[in-house]
Amino acid sequence: MKEKKENKNSKSAFWERAFSLLQKPRRSKKGMNLSRLSSITKEGDTVLVTDKLLGSGKMTHKLTIACDRFSASASALLKKAGCKVQSIAQLRKENPKGTGVMLVK
């Protein structure tokens, strides 16, 4: 709950947009497969995924990924690929303005 209040009071346009996407009901979110995430990112990107990250496909490069929810298979494949996985709160603490972070829904 504290994270929601912090995001809501943020002055950063990035975090305001991220907060609005994260607040959508779960039934309106589709989920994202690793294959799609791998195709739209490149080595070293920092990505915030607003939907659940699913394990279909494989990750071909290293990323820093923040996501609300991961499937067990996605988490295992990300660790195998050497990706840095963190919570949204950790990403917000490291990057309060959201510069250089790709928002993926």
CATH number at residue 32: 3.100.10.10
Instruction: Compare 2 and 13 and report the one with higher pLDDT.
Output: 13
Give the separation between CA 89 and CA 73, rounded to whole angstroms.
23
pLDDT at 4: 54
Question: Range of 46's domain?
Answer: 2-104
Which DSSP category does 30 fall into?
-
Which residues are CB-neighbours of 3 under 8 A, at least 6 positions away? Answer: 88, 89, 92
Give the separation between CA 99 and CA 65, rounded to whole angstroms.
14
Tally the domains of the chain.
1
Q: Which residue has the tokens 């699913």?
A: 54
For residues 30 and 42, the answer to whether their CB atoms sit within 8 Å is no
- The sign of the CA dihedral 76, 70, 15, 10 is negative
Give the separation between CA 79 and CA 93, rounded to whole angstroms.
22
Radius of gyration of the chain, Cα coordinates, nearest whole angstrom = 13
For residue range 18-56, what is the model confidence (pLDDT) as tens digits? Answer: 999 999 998 888 889 999 999 999 999 999 999 999 999
